[in-house]
Amino acid sequence: MANDTTTEQATEPKTWVQKIVHEIRETVFTIAVFLPFWLVFSTFVYELRSIPSESMVPALQVGDRVAVSKFAYGYNRHSAPFGVGAWFIGDDASDPSNRVMGSTPRRGDVIVFQHPSSNKVMIKRIVGLPGDTVQYRDGLLFLNGEEVKRELVRTFSYVQGDSSRMLRTAAEYRESLPGEDGTHLIHEFSDNECLDRTPIFRVPEGHVFMMGDNRDNSEDSRASSGHPGMAAAFPDAWNCRAISGGEPAIGFVPFDHLIGRAETVLFSLYSCRRAEGAECAAPRLWRAL
């Protein structure tokens, strides 16, 4: 009889309070086990980033989830989450190459970086390296005085992803930067748009020059207001627009602001509003950049 009583007590159903407590314990245990692994992985190996704007179309669409290599260019004060990088690497803003195991990026790399004048995290393509001269002349890119060749692929129409929902017609070109592995696609509305005419920029040591692939829908290193001493001679009005909302322009991006290299579109939550005569981007799953 004693054994029967013990069995009945052991198999007695849990109350709803006991079930809730059990679930909470399991959840806390799971978080306690996996959180350190996630922190180490996202700090030193890869992290997942979402794409918030159309500045890198067609390579990246709004809603894409991108795997970013944190070790591609070494580690700096902006690489680690929650600002802990400054604890281990230092916060010397006067040294743009203040990195651990640092390596030099390459032209054509798609980079996630910290905006030099704000806490905003951005993603663009590297066009200019230290010592390069970069200029836009009537919609054509010149690097070190030489025109970067582009080949027209097609023209097409699409619905712009911002609040205007405008139907835009764009040209798609295939472009190859000196030293780039392969080619990439760029979009332009015309050769007479905002930031299609710029002064000559010389990239200083320890910095890079960033541009979006959606050339006429990207606020990037071309905006002269991001370059001290140049804004007075070449105001952004000369480039035909000011930086929206008064936000500081990017200017040259220091090496120690590079968070990582975008390598793969893992999946996408991209949604497209179809319109007559417009097209939508193809679905993307595990696509290399």
Do 134 and 147 form a contact (C-beta atoms < 8 A)? no
39-53, 151-165, 179-193: which has the highest mean pLDDT? 179-193
For residue 81, what pLDDT band results from cuts at 50, 70 and 90? Answer: low
- pLDDT for residue 25 is more than 60: yes
Q: Which of 70, 124, 218, 225 is catalytic?
A: 124
What's the one-letter identity of residue 262? A
Choose between 150 and 25: higher pLDDT. Answer: 150
| Mean pLDDT across 247-274 | 88
Choose between 1 and 263: higher pLDDT. Answer: 263
Element (H, E) at 37: helix 16-44
Compute φ and ψ for 125, nearest 5 degrees: -105, 140
Q: Which of 55, 79, 221, 225 is catalytic?
A: 55
Give dist(CA 84, CA 77) in Å, integer.
Answer: 7
| CA separation, residue 5 to residues 2, 12, 15, 136 (Å) | 5, 11, 19, 86
Residue with tokens 């322009």: 249
Per-residue b or e along 128-159, where b marks 16 or more CB atoms closer than 10 Å to that residue's CB: bbbebebbbeebebebeeeebebeeeeeeebb
Q: Which fold has domain 56-73+106-288?
A: Umud Fragment, subunit A (2.10.109)
pLDDT value, residue 49: 93
Read off the pTM: 0.81
Least confident span in 44-48, 101-105, 187-191, 201-205? 101-105
Element (H, E) at 22: helix 16-44
Do 47 and 68 form a contact (C-beta atoms < 8 A)? yes
| Mean pLDDT across 29-53 | 82
46-60, 84-98, 271-285: which has the highest mean pLDDT? 46-60
Residue 124 designated active-site: yes
- pLDDT for residue 29 is more than 90: no
User: Could you tell me the residue ranges of all domains in the chain?
Assistant: 2-35, 56-73+106-288
Residue-wise pLDDT for 121-174, tens only, equals 999 999 999 999 999 999 999 999 999 999 999 999 888 766 567 788 999 999
Report the mean per-residue pLDDT for the chain: 83
pLDDT value, residue 193: 86
